[in-house]
Structure 1
Amino acid sequence: MSYFTTLLGNFTVLFVVGKDQTLQKPMYLLMCMLALTDIAKSTSTLPKALCIFWFNWNGITAGGCFTQTFFLNTIAFTQSAILVTMAFDRYVAICNPLRYATILSNTRITVLGFVGLIRGVLCMLPLPLFLSWLPFCANHTIAHTHCENMAVAKLSCGDITVNSIYSLVVSFVVSGLDLMLIALSYGLIIRAVLRISSRKAHQKAFNTCTAHICVMLTTYTPGYLNSLTQRFVQSIAPHTQVILANVYLLISPMLNPIIYGAKTKELRDKVRRCTCRM
């Protein structure tokens, strides 16, 4: 049910923004990019998980497993880059509203999206290579509904230090840098807002950031919890690790379109009009 809700919500955002010319602006283009990554994140894992639960189709080839690992992590890095761009978009909208159209255009946002995608591909390309070089034991059963990098690596009879260190360092360096940039953007936003004397202006400025902050919490928090428990918490029950991994894949893609629909009046009104016409 969560997967179908994810598809419905994100495809609704794509449809409404694509159909309405007035919504084809940088902020809504970023929402569409986020929706695409949410669809890709869910679709790269959940259909296979449903096949496991419904039809007991447990098998997957080594190549398919490594490919799933690569795509899942690439999508996560791309999504993080989109969230950074969203923070910059909010900074420009609040701190430099008169120059918004010149600083951020649809073309520039598209270029930034492709840069984020290329960054994710380059950072994650070594992961399936490291996994393919590992010798694997007789037990090829992954205690997950998808091919999570560390869950696959732990099946190996060899030394997984390189794989573990690389994935940990890259994840925390890249996402740490992204979080620093987001924090910098919001620090500048808060400084600019506090200089405004009007309380109504304060509320309006912070309301424009609420949706983005909620999306960041639903994206980064489960991701960090999943990554840390996989590497450092040995006492946690296997089923708890599986639940955390699936929460990361389910909650964020399902909630993101709901959050933006609830917090963005213009988008909410357009969705309502499209629904009424149908």
Structure 2
Amino acid sequence: MVHFGHANALRQAKALGDYLVVGVHTDEEIAKHKGPPVFTEQERYKMIRAIKWVDEVVEGAPYVTTLETLDKYNCDFCVHGDDITTTADGIDTYHLVKAAGRYKEVERTRGVSTTDMVGRMLLMTREHFKRGQADLGLDHSATIPFTACSQFLPTSRKIVQFSEGKEPRPGDKVVYVAGAFDLLHVGHLDFLEAAKAEGDFLIVGLHTDPTVNRYKGANYPIMNLHERVLSVLACKYVNEVVIGAPYAVTKELMGHFNVDIVCHGKTPIMPDTDGSDPYALPKSLDRFKCVSSNNRMTTERIVDRIIQHR
């Protein structure tokens, strides 16, 4: 998996120097030492390259980091989180660089891990989690997140650390997209890249958890709103995020952010609660465009991969 916890580690690593090189292991190496990977190596290379603090990706990096590897890519030191990783034989994967004094540690993001994410997806496969809102006696206007199993505690400081904090420049063409962006994956990245290509400044509206649950059902979203905010903010194509964006694109929203064009992917658009088209306004203004990611990856496919390897 690649999630905002990884992005936060890379953000901290970049802050320790000037140029960040990220080594990504092959599927074979991960399967040997950790278990079957959720994303393929090609997908993981693409996802790491899309994180805004990353300058270079080394494909197929060795599982045990050596001094030769650091020297080959002109790296002064190696960085890892404060959670220890070992090989299948129980050896510290960073023992060589630690002994040479070329190792630095950053704090892991508490409340999130790949194991945690996998656990949330497996919960979805249990039938009693698939009942609808009516069966659970929940009010449709409820504001509780459906991802109650999340242990992540968001803070304003964390959002500021991930945010660019920049306004569009005069003359910039502002693009707006909205959605769940749950378990950010290569399909999302390709869509965001295509949307960004339609202008200069990309704003992503993220729907609340109850809104996402209304149009996706089951136990979605897997990641709560705050987790999805950090995941999207870490993407290099994204300039700004609207936290808890309205489902319908309104005149107020377009005016407030000076939106020039609203984009949506090829996925079906569910009507609003009153049956109306949530994109009716930008369509009537001829400021709506359907863009294709040319990628068939979906959050559901990721869940299916987890189930297959459970």
Q: What range is the shorter-chain TM-score in?
A: under 0.3
More helix by share: 1
More strand by share: 2
- Identify which of structures 1 and 2 has the higher relative contact order when contacts are C-alpha pairs closer than 8 Å and 6+ apart: 1
